[in-house]
Amino acid sequence: MSETRPGATPAARGAVPPARGLVPPARGAVPPALIAEATKRAGLIWITVPGAARPRAAWHTWQDGAAYVLTGPGEQAVPGLDAAREAAITVPSKDTGGQLLTWTATVSRVDPGSPAWAGVIGALLAGRLNPAQEPGGESPARRWARTGQVYRLTPSERTDTES
């Protein structure tokens, strides 16, 4: 039996990230309710962008039927997400860290100042474990609006299982 460190990511616990590229349907459509429940409960998701060297783990928030991810300087990096129209999202099991399910997402950027931005930025801020802010400095939300990017990952009709 292997020992795990508290707070270790699935990769640190030996979980295998998903394969590169978008995954074709393997076992049929994943019910939208299952996608929502599994993704909402996951502390992180693996994002596979077509053409990227490897999948990237990213913290997120689930809201209004989609996962929202923050990227940018000083934040998590998901290379290629800015140019992607779709991405494969793998949700790890909280019990084993292994792959629970994979779904295909339509990727769209949330513009600072938009109604969607206003609706999700509070949830992202609440979910951020350690937002860097120096005394008297710029708030994380203002910094994200200036230098970060927020992406909405919406389950597409091509959603499929991988487990």
Q: What is the mean pLDDT of residues 94-104?
A: 88
Model pLDDT for residues 104-128, shown as the tens digit of each residue: 999 999 999 999 999 999 899 887 7
- The model carries a pTM of 0.77
φ and ψ at 110, to 5 degrees?
-100, 120
Q: Provide the CATH number for the domain formed by 32-128+139-155 in this structure.
A: 2.30.110.10
What does the alpha-carbon distance between residue 161 and residue 91 come to, in Å, rounded to a whole number?
A: 10
Model pLDDT for residues 150-163, shown as the tens digit of each residue: 999 999 975 544 44
Domain positions in the chain: 32-128+139-155
Separation in Å, CA 125 to CA 25, 47, 61, 143: 34, 20, 10, 11
Cβ contacts of residue 67 below 8 Å, gap of 6+? 39, 45, 60, 61, 89, 105, 152, 153
pLDDT at 22 over 80: no
